[in-house]
Every structure is written in C-alpha cells, then in structure tokens.
Homo-oligomer: A and B are copies of this chain.
Amino acid sequence: MATHHPIMTKEDLIAFLDREFPQIHVGGQTYFLDEIGPLSARMRMDYHERHLRPGGTISGPSMMALADLALYAAILAHIGPVALAVTTSLNFNFLRKPEARALIANCRLLKLGKRLAVGEVSIFSEGSPDVVCHATGTYSIPSA
C-alpha cells in the first residue's frame, strides 16, 4: 500500500466537505481538517460547550463523530469526491476521560480496496500523548 497517495488537495477536500455536509458545522464550526497524507488524515475538534458532559469531559458521541469524519476524509482524499463511501461498521474503545481541550484525531488507512476501505483512528487531547479513544471503521465504496 506504500504507493497510495491522496488525489485530492486538503483545500479541495475541505471545500467538498463544507458543501456536502453543512450540518456538521451547525452551531459553529468545531471540526477542522488539519492534514492529509499517504493513507492518513488528521482532524481537529475544537473544545466547545455543546460537546461537554458533566464534569467537563467531552461526550462519547462527539468523539465518535470526529472519528467517523476523520476516516471519511482520509478515504475521500484517496478515492476522490465523486465516489460515495458509506460507513458500514465502527468500533470504539474509550480509554480515558478527555480533558476540556481540543481533540486531535489521527487516522491511518489499513486497507483501500475496490469495495471496502478500513482504517483506524487514535484520538488525543491536544498536547497529550495518551490515546483517549481508539476507533476502527469500515466503509463500503460503490462501484464506479
């Protein structure tokens, strides 16, 4: 898989996501695509009150949405904006309570096949080395 490289620029991918998924920015944008690379993508989720749970921790569903989006962005970056990838499965392990800070999601694609793409995501609190949530996901890629 070492030959796989993104075919979309970060700017084009951001423009595509903003146009196709305006809902993710409702209430103020908190999800940002930081970087795309070979079989990888990094997303950031800003700290915002609507992601919180009692005790100042960030909600599980916010992290699940972040992981799903990071995987989706990584896949689209490599197959282009035409194809419509659909999430078929997601698995999450919640490891630590995230602090009241931004979250960084590092996504790595493990497989980019013709029909299925699989990747993993490690989510960190900004500035901390410990994984707070780890996810794996599978996306179905429609035939051209």
Contacts and interface: CB of A to CB of B under 8 A. Distances in A.
Nearest to A89: B93
B134 A88 contact: no
A12 interface: no
A92 B89 contact: yes
Interface size range of chain A in the complex:
35 or more
A120 B134 contact: yes
A61 to B, nearest CB: 4
A52 B89 CA distance: 19
A15 interface: no
28 contacts: A2-B129, A20-B54, A21-B53, A23-B50, A23-B59, A26-B50, A60-B90, A61-B61, A61-B65, A64-B90, A89-B89, A89-B92, A89-B94, A89-B138, A90-B90, A90-B92, A90-B94, A91-B136, A93-B110, A93-B118, A93-B136, A95-B111, A95-B118, A96-B111, A111-B131, A116-B140, A134-B136, A138-B138
Interface of A: 1-2, 20-21, 23, 26-27, 49-50, 52-54, 59-61, 64-65, 68, 86-97, 110-111, 115-116, 118, 120, 129-131, 134, 136, 138, 140
Given A61-B68, A89-B89, 18 more contacts: A23-B53, A26-B50, A61-B64, A64-B90, A87-B94, A88-B94, A88-B138, A89-B138, A91-B92, A93-B111, A93-B136, A95-B110, A111-B131, A115-B140, A116-B140, A134-B136, A136-B136, A138-B138
